[in-house]
Amino acid sequence: MSISDREKAYCRFLDNLGFGNSDDFSLFEKAMRHTSYVHEADIPIECSYERLEFLGDAVLKLVISKYLYLKFPDYKEGILSKLRGEIVADKTLAQFANKIGLNAFILLSENERKSGGEHKQSILACTFEAFLGAIYLTCGYDSVEDFIVSNFSCDICAIEQNIETINPKQQLQEYTQEINHTLPEYVLISKTGSEHNSVFEIAVYFNGKMLAKGIGSSKKSAQQEAARNALNYLKSEGLWKQ
């Protein structure tokens, strides 16, 4: 694809997203310039997406923080922070970039492209953040917020539904410390199998009461499973809210 063909396709892409009438196309183009591209083209590093990425990262965190704050009024700060961390992680942002087809327009050096740079999570995530920065500067905060919520709210909800998988040991510890400033106790019940194929069963106790058990191929995984089961038990009893 020639440069002119690419620009035409990129303009159609922006138009489909609702940004075709932006006052400054150059910012959207800048958002696609990876540092390897500007080095190869021998143009100033300021022409890469780095500054827009810096801005877009801050805008994204604000949008997501507001979204989570309003959507989940009963969630405590710790859970909201974990959710936001999952949403703004490179893996998630790379999925967002691929979902809208942003990867097709990233400008990379020849060597970076040969190594599959347009498929790398870190590059996709940074480009997506830079793209948000361009939206913010050309269209304003409301446009960024509308873009994220309208395109990715289902993905955000999917992450929220799996919140119990986000370090259950830490969540259980936060719960017990809030109750009486103590930690849950994990007790090994049994270890079966061979040395290289072991199965551990662990129980987790709080205030002298066993909350749940967990099974895993290592002590750590069994503890996580026990904590996850304990959170499910506490939630069913109305004793724990996310």
Secondary structure percentages of the chain, helix, strand, coil, to 5:
65, 10, 20
User: CA Rg, the chain, in Å?
Assistant: 23
Nearest CA to 30 among 57, 12, 10, 2? 10
Nearest CA to 105 among 215, 213, 13? 13
Which of helix, strand or coil describes residue 107?
Answer: strand
Catalytic residues: 57, 129
Please report which residue ranges of 72-120 form alpha helices under DSSP H. Answer: 77-87, 90-100, 110-114
Nearest CA to 31 among 84, 42, 19? 19
Give the 3-state secondary structure of 7-48.
HHHHHHHHHHHCCCCCCCHHHHHHCCECHHHHHHHCCCHHHC
Angle subtended by helix axes 77-87 and 50-71, to nearest 10:
140
Structure tokens at 149: 């919520």
Q: Alpha-carbon distance 103 to 119, whole Å?
A: 7
